[in-house]
């Protein structure tokens, strides 16, 4: 049995190129990750570069559709909550301004 060093060298070079390509990653504009925990909770992650994930299986189309739907519902609820808090803050500021205006008006009428 003889060892073909040229074939071995080419194989190692191909493996090195593949590893380098995988290490560099695919160029994309942005990326996010949607994961389902083992308890069924869906989560959208904007920075998943430091996560150590061990998926039990590849995602199916049903997983993708269900996960996106769950995340969309969660995002809409979060957006609604944000808008509600913002509206309440605006109302509180308006009430505070009205109260200050009333105090000024009362002070002017007393003098």
pLDDT above 70 (res 22): no
Domain span holding position 60: 5-110
Dig out the tokens for 87 from the structure: 């509206």
Q: Is the pLDDT of residue 106 over 80?
A: yes
- Residue-wise pLDDT tens digits, 36-46: 888 998 888 87
* Mean pLDDT over each residue of the chain, to the nearest integer: 83
pLDDT at 21: 58
Give one DSSP letter per residue of 53-109, joined into a string: ---SSPPPHHHHHHHHHHHHHHHHHHHHHHHHHHHHHHHHHHHHHHHHHHHHHHHHH
**pTM exceeds 0.85 for this model:** no
* pLDDT of 23: 63
Give every CB contact of residue 97 below 8 A, 6+ residues apart in sequence: none
For the segment 60-72, the average pLDDT, to the nearest whole number, is: 88
The answer to whether 34 touches 71, Cβ cutoff 8 Å, is yes
Number of structural domains the chain divides into? 1
Please report which helix (H) or strand (E) contains residue 42, including its range: strand 42-45
pLDDT at residue number 84: 96
């Amino acid at each position: 049995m003889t060892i073909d060093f040229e074939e071995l060298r080419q194989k190692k070079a191909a493996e090195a190129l593949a590893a380098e390509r995988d290490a560099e990653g695919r160029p994309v504009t942005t990326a996010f990750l949607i994961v389902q925990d083992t308890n069924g909770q869906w989560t959208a992650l904007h920075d998943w570069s430091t996560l150590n994930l061990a998926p039990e299986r590849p995602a199916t189309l049903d997983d993708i559709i269900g996960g996106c739907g769950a995340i969309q519902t969660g995002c809409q609820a979060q957006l609604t909550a944000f808008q509600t808090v913002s509206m309440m803050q605006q109302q509180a500021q308006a009430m505070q301004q009205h109260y200050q205006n009333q105090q000024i008006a009362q002070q002017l009428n007393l003098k």
